[in-house]
């Protein structure tokens, strides 16, 4: 798509790796529930980082791919942020943030689906095709039978 999207996908990948390192090495003393939430957030982050990279590398982009990229980027930030927060020592109200983030993720994947569906285009018959078909059938003669 564009250099901006590839840059954002790269920064997203960097943050994913840095958060994995933090979760592995610096969360030993954290509560088990915070560690589990952090791990869930990281898994969602990792999967969607690869999706963002794939979208950024897409050669044939359209408005649905652009929209899907932006929605997935917003979605994973809104969904994973509240999951990372307790492990990082912050408090973010998870009541709305994670579900809203999940909604954006679903909307992003829906936009990607629409991008795929928009590539299925049926070819309509043009006037030259109709004329070619007419000429074919006008010149057609039934085969002669060999019953003589």
pTM over 0.85? The answer is no
Q: Residue-wise pLDDT tens for the chain (148 aa)?
A: 678 888 888 888 888 888 888 877 777 777 787 888 888 888 888 888 888 888 888 877 788 889 999 999 999 888 888 888 877 777 776 666 778 888 999 999 999 988 888 877 655 655 566 677 777 777 766 667 666 5
CA distance 23 to 21: 5
Three-state secondary-structure class, residue 98: helix
* CB distance 85 to 34 below 8 Å: no
CA distance 45 to 84: 10
Inside any domain, residue 143 = no
Inside any domain, residue 116 = yes
Inside any domain, residue 44 = yes
Domain count, the chain: 1
Inside any domain, residue 148 = no
Domain encompassing residue 125: 3-138
Inside any domain, residue 43 = yes
Degrees (nearest 5) of the Cα angle 116, 118, 121? 115
Inside any domain, residue 129 = yes
Inside any domain, residue 74 = yes
Closest CA to 54 of 108, 132, 120: 108
Inside any domain, residue 51 = yes
Cα dihedral 91/92/93/95 (nearest 10)? -120
């Amino acid at each position: 798509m564009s250099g901006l999207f590839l840059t954002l996908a790269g920064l997203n990948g960097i943050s994913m790796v840095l958060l994995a390192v933090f979760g592995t090495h610096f969360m030993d003393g954290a509560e088990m529930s915070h560690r589990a939430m952090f791990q869930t957030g990281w898994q969602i982050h990792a999967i969607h980082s690869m999706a963002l990279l794939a979208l950024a590398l897409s050669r044939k982009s359209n408005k649905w791919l652009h929209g899907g990229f932006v929605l997935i980027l917003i979605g994973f930030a809104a969904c994973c942020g509240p999951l990372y927060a307790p492990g990082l020592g912050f408090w973010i109200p998870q009541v709305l943030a994670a579900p809203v983030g999940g909604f954006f993720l679903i909307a992003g994947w829906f936009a990607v689906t629409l991008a795929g569906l928009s590539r299925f285009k049926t070819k309509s018959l043009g006037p030259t095709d109709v004329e070619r078909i007419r000429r074919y059938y006008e010149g057609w003669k039934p085969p002669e039978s060999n019953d003589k």
